[in-house]
């Protein structure tokens, strides 16, 4: 049975501003780097074998910070990129409504489909499961992509919603390609940092 720790990258300026990022290459902000270091400290005390990450900079930086703390090897795979946001990338919800109206989601604005994103994310996980059977692999990716992957592989579970920045969700896949969720959207590693920021 192969175990995957699905990690949403740390915070960015566009996350804070509520802007759709998609395939835009936006780096971590200061909070994002601190969040990644917090998770790195947690991972260093756990048992994981390797890291695979999206090649977008916010995921690469997150993986780098985790690797520095845990000494795990890092590889990159473009299949773990966020869904392409087409024309909405860089816009807020208010800006989308102003530009295209309340029904903007019904328009063809060049967005990648959930099915396409889920398919490439799952193909990456399945390939890694075959290559590293029985290992525990961290996957650093993006919120929308991970949501669609989870909804596709955990068919008997309730539909998953928004993953927090720097959260970890742990899923396992057996030899019959049956998936189960062990931990969902966990951010306990961020609590000491958030408490310090509020003082």
Residues in Cβ contact with 66 at an 8 Å cutoff, skipping those fewer than 6 apart: 7, 36, 39, 40, 43, 51, 72, 138, 140
Q: Does 139 appear as a known binding residue?
A: no
Concerning whether 82 is annotated as a catalytic residue, the answer is yes
Q: Does 9 appear as a known binding residue?
A: yes
Concerning whether 142 is annotated as a catalytic residue, the answer is no
Q: Does 88 appear as a known binding residue?
A: no
Phi–psi pair at 2, nearest 5 degrees: -100, 135
Q: Does 165 appear as a known binding residue?
A: no
Q: Does 14 appear as a known binding residue?
A: yes
- Secondary structure of 26-77 in HEC code, one letter for each residue: CCECHHHHHHHHHHHHHHHCCCCCEEEECCCHHHHHHHHHHHHHHCCCEEEC
From the list 9, 142, 148, 189, the catalytic residue is: 9
Q: Does 19 appear as a known binding residue?
A: no
From the list 17, 46, 82, 112, the catalytic residue is: 82
Q: Does 12 appear as a known binding residue?
A: yes
| Positions marked catalytic | 9, 82
Q: Which residues are annotated as a binding site for substrate?
A: 8-15, 58
């Amino acid at each position: 049975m192969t175990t995957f720790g699905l990690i949403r990258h740390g915070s960015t300026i566009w996350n804070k501003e509520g802007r759709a990022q998609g395939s835009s290459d936006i780096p971590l902000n200061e909070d994002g780097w601190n969040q990644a270091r917090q998770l790195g400290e947690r991972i260093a005390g756990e048992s994981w074998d390797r890291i695979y990450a999206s090649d977008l900079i916010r995921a690469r930086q997150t993986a780098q910070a985790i690797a520095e703390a845990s000494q795990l090897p890092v590889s990159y795979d473009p299949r773990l990129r966020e869904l392409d946001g087409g024309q909405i990338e860089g816009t807020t919800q208010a800006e989308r409504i102003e530009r295209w109206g309340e029904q903007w989601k019904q328009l063809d604005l060049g967005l990648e489909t959930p099915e396409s994103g889920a398919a490439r994310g799952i193909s990456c996980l399945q390939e890694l499961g075959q290559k590293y059977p029985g290992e525990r692999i961290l996957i650093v990716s993006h919120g929308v992509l991970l949501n669609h992957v989870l909804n596709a592989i955990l068919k008997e579970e309730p539909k998953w919603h928004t993953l927090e920045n720097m959260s970890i969700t742990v899923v396992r896949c057996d030899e019959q390609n049956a998936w189960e969720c062990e931990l969902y959207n966990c951010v306990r590693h961020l609590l000491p940092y958030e408490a310090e920021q509020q003082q």
